[in-house]
Chains A and B, each alone.
Chain A
């Protein structure tokens, strides 16, 4: 069932909002002990809101009219646990914030709430979003519904699981180096890592301020576009968001992609790619040709330096963003930080410190310019760039946990996009022989989300046709 199916059913009176919420809460109760997608379930709050919305609906008797103001009327969703939710515990999946109850809502939380969505709970993730597998959570990792011995990806691990296991229609998340695309790719779901500055970060616990983006995971491309319209756009509380109204991302989404130029960067089809992922990319090229697109090889020469740039800049900003966690105004003492947080704080502090700033932080900012230029040059030749999201199939839990560097290298295909602030849509591209999801990302120019949704939709529909 998609959001649109759900709203149709509501309109027809096939079920009530409360029934739907109750069903899903039951499902969560049944599946969560094993999948560990939710840290907090807000059953009472959800039911209270459901009843309130129902009163509105019975008073107005016109869902169509209500949908104009509240496009997500009664739609069950959930939030990654780094989104501040007023009155509801927000842990960032870390012991240091156990018991922390924010006194304000993140802008995105408020926008979704005002749009009629119903929050069912707070979702598990890597603590402070530090990770690409969900294994850095202080509350245990979430499990991939396609194979519970494997990671669902990270850091928005719980978000992907909650959507893939049909607990909610949409789950918010963030993407700083890979954290929305990687989980979507591992769980056969869709996520848009949108342009830096498109969606407000106010109220979302900051990881790396020049790289963080706020987005969501859904099961289909159209649903993702529909939700983006609700959250995107100017926010007075986030100085990076831009003036201007939020676009209708569904507009023109069904148009074909004839003549569209799709570039495949050779640096992304590296030797270390899993053969099934390589094969999938081969198929993807064929599919685009079938859709009428013009497929070509391009080069993004500085790709191999992206992980180094990412880890220096991200860790530097992390070390500063986590300085407020001193246990005085909120949270526990700094000894409660998990290992990965400590590691990144140490790395970042070092990169910024006197005598090392030039060699690390400044150097990384310079190479960042080179990576941005790579994309600018490429987009003169093509409209969209297609690449795999992850060089491997979804790893087994526990596989890379004692080698931080190996974990960091998992971001090799996704980090360049964050460094350049570009949008990238992660869409399912197929399955491995073992039935494990493989996803691709479609990278676009700044603020070109509409085009990406169009391309993604065509691709998605074409894949379904097989």
Chain B
């Protein structure tokens, strides 16, 4: 098993949170709809005679997102028809700008399992979503509330070689989607969907395998991990038996935990793409600057000297990050500021200003002067002879213990740093 490594490329779908659908004025809120088929119109129902008119908000949001992801924005967008038959595809074709993407190239860097991982992006494009179909006893029940909702597709190069990294990558995209207010990107709400292409090669290899298996229908991070690991094992097994692996599409069965063949290369769709005549070409550019991205935040917080644990917490919580920044501006050291906003439960619902007030009051009550502290320190050292001798022997946590005792004795008012210095002075000649 360890002789091989996976070669994984991802196709991530995100539903941008526009007010309306991509090509009609129906509400874009399929997840919260109280009943099926209440947000439909002739356009998204694919009725005869209906015509698409694009949503400008979708283009704008998508371009901001593509820029934030680090791709190079393209100016010309053309929507094409991708023709195939399926009950959840009312027009018998899907409108997509796959061949005229919004953003091309670029790379995304994020913390992986074993250090920084860089994944090259192929392209990001905009398309429309299909309806929702569920199978019940030999019948297919279709709800068109989701039909025509805008969908962003992010396609990566096969640069991932670790299943956990693939999951981390998707979570990073989620962060960026939220930071840029593009989408909540919740997998449970169907706002984010994953497809993976996975093949296997000998570890250390550089060439891409001549096949890849497309994994569809992955709607949670847990299932993604399971599906990829299952595929990894399945493919390695076949390779070890000297069997040839072919290009195919497989679906993940949540109940059995296995992937099953859906389509071979020969049965692959012929989508007969051609430009949608009813939608004039789009030549669009955006100008304004972006919200802070996770990677930028990470960089800045690393410069501040924060631990990785603290950084990942601050990145995921805009409010807490804001409080941290304010405290740093109020001249708290980064480490202290982070500790205050993250660790102190009584501060969780307070604003930065309120935290500062409380800290200031504590500070004014704080015992910092040697003459105030010494009585307590002397008593603590007397009562904890073992800790003293342990510290003399070199055990650092004994010092922490003694400081803790001083804090206890002064009801938290002792200044920790000053206490530590005085204790050290007293113990070590």
Q: Kindly identify, within residues 35 to 94 of chain B, every residue whose CB is under 8 Å from any CB belonging to chain A.
A: 42, 45-54, 81, 83, 85, 87, 90-93
Flag the segment in B166-174, B272-280, B366-374 that touches A. B272-280
- On whether the beta carbons of A324 and B42 are closer than 8 Å, the reply is no
List, in ascending order, chain B residues with CB within 8 A of A462's CB. Answer: none
Contact of A102 with B278 in the complex, beta carbons under 8 Å: no
A167 to B: closest C-beta gap in Å? 25
Establish whether residues A104 and B42, one from each chain, have CB atoms under 8 Å apart when the complex forms: yes
If the complex has contacts A240-B278, A320-B81, A320-B93, are A353 and B51 also in contact, measured as CB distance less than 8 A?
no
Q: Judge whether A352 and B272 touch: CB under 8 Å.
A: yes
B90 touches A329 (CB 8 A): yes
Is B277's CB under 8 angstroms from A202's CB?
no
A92, A103, A237, A330: the one contacting B51 at CB < 8 Å is A237
Size of the B side of the interface (Cβ < 8 Å), in residues, is 29
Within the complex, the shortest CB–CB distance from B23 to chain A, in Å, comes to: 9
B269-302 near A? 1/0 per residue, CB < 8 Å:
0101010111110000000000000000000000
Whether B92 pairs with A329 at a CB distance below 8 angstroms is: no
A211 closest partner in B (C-beta): B277
**Main secondary structure on chain B at its contact with chain A?**
loop
Contact A236 B90 (CB under 8 A): no
B350 contacts the other chain (Cβ, under 8 Å)? Answer: no
A202 close to B51 (CB less than 8 A): yes
Min distance, Cβ B76 to any Cβ of chain A, angstroms: 17
Minimal beta-carbon separation of A91 from chain B (angstroms): 10
CB < 8 Å neighbour of A361 from B46, B93, B144, B274: B274
B83 neighbours in A (Cβ, 8 Å): 319-320, 323, 352
Asked whether B278 lies within 8 Å of A239 as measured between CB atoms, the reply is: yes
- Contact flags B236-264 to A (C-beta < 8 A → 1, else 0): 00000000000000000000000000000
> Of all chain B residues, which has the CB nearest A328?
B87
- On whether A352 and B274 interact (CB within 8 A), knowing A240-B280, A323-B93, the answer reads yes
Query: Which of A103, A322, A328 is close to B42, meaning CB atoms less than 8 Å apart?
Result: A103
Residue of B nearest to A204 (CB): B49
Q: Which residue of A has the minimal Cβ distance to B270? A: A354
Is residue A89 within 8 Å, beta carbon to beta carbon, of the partner chain? no
Contact of A201 among B51, B81, B280 (CB under 8 A): B51
CB nearest to A90 among chain B residues: B48
CA of A236 to CA of B23, assembled, Å: 12
B48, B54, B144, B279: the one contacting A324 at CB < 8 Å is: B48
Of B53, B90, B272, the contact of A239 (CB 8 Å cutoff) = B53
Distance (whole angstroms) from the CB of B283 to the closest CB of chain A: 14
Q: Are B142 and A320 in contact (CB under 8 A)?
A: no
- A102 contacts B49, C-beta separation under 8 Å: yes
The distance in angstroms between the C-alpha atoms of A181 and B276, with both chains bound, is 27
A316 on the interface (CB 8 Å rule)? yes
Given contacts A103-B42, A202-B50, contact A353 B272 (CB under 8 A): yes
Q: Specify the chain A residue showing the minimal Cβ separation from B87.
A: A328
For the complex formed, measure the closest distance between the CB of A192 and the CB atoms of chain B, giving whole angstroms. Answer: 21
**B98 smallest CB distance to A (angstroms):** 16
Knowing A201-B51, A205-B49, A320-B93, the reply to whether A326 touches B279 (Cβ < 8 A) is no
Q: Are B92 and A320 in contact, CB atoms less than 8 angstroms apart?
A: yes
Tell me the complex Cα distance, A330–B48, Å.
9
With both beta carbons as reference points, the residue of chain B lying nearest to A104 in the complex is identified as: B42
Contact with B along A104-121 (1 / 0, CB 8 A): 101000000000000000
Q: Which residues of B are found within 8 Å of A104, using beta-carbon distances?
A: 42, 47
> Which residues of chain A from 325 to 349 have a CB within 8 Å of any chain B CB?
325-326, 328-330, 349
Asked if residues A239 and B48 are in contact (CB atoms below 8 Å), the reply is: no
Looking at B47, B49, B83, B279, the one whose CB has the most chain A CB atoms below 10 A away is: B49
B-side contacts of A325, CB under 8 Å: 48, 92
A203:B54 contact, CB within 8 angstroms: no
User: At the interface, yes or no: A206 with Cβ under 8 Å from chain B?
Assistant: yes
Q: Is the CB of A349 within 8 A of B272?
A: yes
Q: Which of B46, B52, B85, B280 has the most CB of A within 10 A?
A: B46
Q: Assess whether A324 is in contact with B49, with CB atoms less than 8 Å apart.
A: no
Type the 1/0 row for B87-123, where 1 means its CB is closer than 8 Å to any CB of A.
Answer: 1001111000000000000000000000000000000
Whether a CB of chain B sits under 8 angstroms from the CB of A42 is no
Cβ A237 vs Cβ B53 within 8 A: yes
* Chain B residues closer than 8 Å to A82, beta-carbon distance: 49
Q: Which residues of A contact B42 (CB under 8 A)?
A: 103-104, 203
Asked if residues B49 and A326 are in contact (CB atoms below 8 Å), the reply is no
Residues of A within 8 A of B85 (CB): 323, 326
| With contact pairs A328-B142, A354-B270 given, residues A97 and B90 touching in the complex (Cβ less than 8 Å) | no
Verify A239–B280 contact, CB threshold 8 A: yes
Q: Which residues of A contact B50 (CB under 8 A)?
A: 202-203
Is the C-beta of A238 less than 8 angstroms from some C-beta in chain B?
A: yes
- Say yes or no for A209: interface residue by CB 8 A criterion: yes
A209 touches B277 (CB 8 A): yes
Considering only residues 75-101 of chain A, those with a C-beta below 8 Å from chain B are 82-84, 90, 92, 97, 100
| A330-B47 contact in complex given A240-B278, A320-B274, A323-B93, C-beta closer than 8 Å | yes
A238–B51 touching, CB < 8 Å:
yes
Chain B, Cβ-Cβ closest to A106:
B49
A323 near B91: Cβ-Cβ < 8 Å: yes
Q: Which residue of A lies closest to B279 (CB)?
A: A239
Q: Assuming A203-B42, A324-B91, what are 13 further A-B pairs, CB within 8 angstroms?
A: A82-B49, A84-B47, A102-B48, A103-B47, A239-B52, A320-B274, A324-B47, A324-B48, A324-B92, A329-B90, A330-B47, A352-B274, A354-B272
Interface positions of B (Cβ within 8 A of A): 42, 45-54, 81, 83, 85, 87, 90-93, 142, 144, 270, 272, 274, 276-280
Q: List residues of chain A with CB under 8 Å of any chain B CB.
A: 82-84, 90, 92, 97, 100, 102-104, 106, 201-206, 209-210, 236-240, 316-317, 319-320, 322-326, 328-330, 349, 352-354, 357, 361
Pairs across A and B, CB under 8 Å, 24 listed: A83-B49, A103-B42, A104-B42, A104-B47, A106-B49, A203-B49, A203-B50, A205-B49, A206-B51, A239-B53, A240-B277, A240-B278, A320-B81, A320-B274, A322-B92, A323-B85, A324-B48, A329-B47, A330-B47, A352-B272, A352-B274, A357-B272, A357-B274, A361-B274
Please name the 5 residue pairs, one residue from A and one from B, whose CB atoms are nearest each other, closest first: A323-B92, A210-B277, A352-B272, A209-B277, A203-B49
